Amino acid sequence: MRFVAVIKEDCPTCKLAVPALAEMRAAGLELEIVTQDEPAFPRGLAPRHDADLLESHRLKIEIVPTVILYDPTGAEQSRTYGWNKADWRAITGLSSLGESLPENQPGCGALNLTPGIAEKLALASGDLKLHARSIPVADDADPIEVAYDRGWTDGLPIVPPTDLRVARMLAGTKRRPDETIGLIPPNLVACTVEKAAINAVMAGCRPEYLPMLIGAIEAALQPEFAMHGLLCTLAFSGPMIIGNGPVTRRIGMNSGGNALGQGNRANATIGRAFQLIIRNVGGGRPGEIDRAVLGQPGKYTFCFAEDESDPDWVPLSVARGVAPGESAVTMFHADGVTGFVDQKSRDPETLCQSLAMQLWSVSHPRLARWGNAVLVLAPNHYQIFKDGGWGRAEIEAGLHRALKRPAAGLLEGAGHPLGITPAQAEAYSDADGMVDKFHPGGLLIVRAGGPGGLMSAVIGGWTGGRNNAEVRPVTRKLEEI
C-alpha cells in the first residue's frame, strides 16, 4: 500500500498534521509528501515540490492536506482531507495516530484551484484541448491591429483571445468546448462552444455571461426567428436580446436607468459577442451579405434585462410560456429606439390611447401587420397603469383596443399611395371593418428603465415580421443556469 499526502506550508492544518505524517513514516508506511509552496516543507520528511502544480491538478486536489491511499496496482482506494483524527487513523490503519492532536480541524484551499491557475493547469495538462486554429502574431505586432487587418472586429477594438483567456471563458459553462451549438447564417458555419467563447473574449465578456450568450444563439437559430433573412435584409434591423429571470441579476445585467444605453458590461458585451459571432463565424459582414441601407447603432450591441422588481408584474418570459422563476432569453428583430414622451396622461385608458399613436408609426402609420414591436414601459408610465389596477393582461387588452383602425382609411390610394391592399384589408378586418396594427402576439411589452420621467420607448421590428407564419420573436428557457 502506498500513500500520497499533498500539503502546503501556508496552511495551519498542514502544519498541525506534520507530526502525524512523521508517525506514518516511522511506522514504515510508504508515504510520498508533495508540497505545493515551500520546497523544504516539512523539513526532515523529504518532500517533493509540485512547483508547477500539475501533479496536484492531476490528483484533483481541492483541499490541503489531502491523504490518498493507493493499492498495489496503483489504483486509488480512498482519500481524506483536512485533519480528522478518526479518518486519518482509518485510512492508515494506525490506531494511535496523532494522539496529541485535536480531533478535527478543517483544511485550506489548494493552490491548484487558485482563481486563474486552474485554467492554466487544464491547458498545460492537456485536460482542456482547444480546437480553433491558432493565429501567430509577431512579437512586435499589435494583436488589436492584426484583428482589424483581418476583419475580425465590429469597428471597435477587441480583446485578443489568447488560449488562457479562452480557457477562462470556457470555465463559465459545463458544455464541452467542441460541442456544436448550431450553424450560424448566412454562411451556415458550425459554431462550437469554443468559438462562442472566443468571440465572448473578444467582446469583453466575463465567463459567467457565457450561458446567456449560448442561450441567445440557440434561440436565434430557431427556424421561426429567420436569422438568415434578418442578417441579409436591406432594413435597419438586427438581433436584440432581452434577458429574464435570476441569471440577469446574478450576472449584473441592467434593467434600470439607461438600460438601453451604454455603461453596463453585461448588457454591452453579451450583445456585442452575439454580433461578433454573426460576423466572425457566420460571415455576416456589412457591405457583403449584410446589405442594410442604413443599419442602426444597435447592430453593435442590443441587449438588456427586464425589470422584475414588482411581484405583481408578469415578466415577458412568463407571458411567453416560460415558468416563473426560470431564466430565459427573448430574441427580437429590432430597429432603433423611438422615444415616447407623454407627461399629461394620468389614467390607463388615456395612456393607452397615447401609446397607440406612437405604436402606429412603426414601419409607417399606414401599414398594418407590417412588423412587430417592443414597448419598453419605464417606471413612471408603468405606475399610472399600476395605480389604475392594470397589470400585463389589462395593458395588453387596452392597447389592443386602442390600436384598431378602420381598414377603409388605410387602403392604398385612400389619400396616400402607401397602405394596405384590398386583399390585406379583407384578411385583416374584423366584423366591424377594423384592423389591428400588429399580428397577434406581435407587440411585446417589457418593463425597464429608471424613475424620474414620464417617458418610455418603442422599438420597431423588422419588416420581415409581416410574414407572421415564418418570422416571429423567440423566447427560450436557459437550460444551463
Domains along the chain with CATH numbers: 2-125 (3.40.30.10), 145-403+438-477 (no CATH)
Distances (CA, A) of 46 to 22, 25, 33, 41, 217: 11, 11, 7, 8, 54
Higher pLDDT among residues 306 and 135, named by residue: 306
| Contacts for 139 with CB less than 8 Å, ≥ 6 apart | none
Rounded to the nearest 5 degrees, what angle is found at the Cα of 171, between the Cα atoms of 75 and 67? 30
Band of pLDDT at residue 374, cut at 50, 70 and 90: very high
208-218, pLDDT tens digit by residue? 999 999 999 99
Q: Cβ(275)–Cβ(301) under 8 Å? A: yes
From CA 328, how far away is CA 311, in angstroms rounded? 17
Looking at the chain, the whole-number percentage of residues with pLDDT higher than 70 is 100
Q: Cβ(332)–Cβ(242) under 8 Å? A: yes
Phi, psi of 426 (to 5 degrees): -65, -40
From CA 237, how far away is CA 214, in angstroms rounded? 21
From CA 469, how far away is CA 230, in angstroms rounded? 15
Nearest to 210 by CA among 240, 184, 181: 181
pLDDT on residue 481: 63
From CA 177, how far away is CA 36, in angstroms rounded? 29
From CA 317, how far away is CA 325, in angstroms rounded? 10
Phi, psi of 452 (to 5 degrees): 115, -10
Helices (H) and strands (E) in the chain, counts: 16, 20
| Strands 373-377, 455-461: pairing kind | antiparallel
Phi, psi of 13 (to 5 degrees): -70, -35
Least confident of 80-84, 188-192, 303-307, 414-418: 414-418
Strand residues in 185-281 grouped as ranges (E): 189-192, 238-244
396-421, pLDDT tens digit by residue? 999 999 999 999 999 998 778 899 99
**186 cis-preceded (ω within 30 degrees of 0):** yes
Mean pLDDT of 49-64: 97
Mean pLDDT of 380-400: 98
From CA 445, how far away is CA 393, in angstroms rounded? 10
pLDDT on residue 133: 87
Output the furthest CA–CA distance in the chain (Å, rounded). 103
Band of pLDDT at residue 479, cut at 50, 70 and 90: confident
Phi, psi of 214 (to 5 degrees): -65, -40
For residue 183, pLDDT over 90 is answered with yes
Through-space distance between the first and last CA atoms of the chain, rounded to whole angstroms: 43
For residue 6, pLDDT over 80 is answered with yes
Band of pLDDT at residue 452, cut at 50, 70 and 90: very high
Mean pLDDT of 278-291: 92
State the sign of the Cα–Cα–Cα–Cα dihedral 261, 274, 291, 375. negative
Least confident of 6-15, 78-87, 472-481: 472-481
From CA 481, how far away is CA 479, in angstroms rounded? 6
For residue 134, pLDDT over 90 is answered with no
Rounded to the nearest 5 degrees, what angle is found at the Cα of 52, between the Cα atoms of 48 and 53? 75
pLDDT on residue 117: 93
From CA 252, how far away is CA 268, in angstroms rounded? 11
pLDDT on residue 258: 97
Mean pLDDT of the chain, nearest integer: 96
Residues 426-454 as b/e (b if ≥16 CB within 10 A, e otherwise) read eebbeeeeebbbbbeebbbbbbbbeeeeb
7-55, pLDDT tens digit by residue? 999 999 999 999 999 999 999 999 999 999 999 999 999 999 999 999 9
pLDDT on residue 405: 95
Neighbouring CB atoms inside 10 A of 297's CB total 10
- Under DSSP, is residue 302 helix (H, G, I), strand (E, B) or coil? coil
Q: Cβ(459)–Cβ(335) under 8 Å? A: yes
Burial (CB < 10 A; 0-12, 13-18, 19+), residue 242, is buried
Higher pLDDT among residues 116 and 306, named by residue: 306
Neighbouring CB atoms inside 10 A of 251's CB total 24
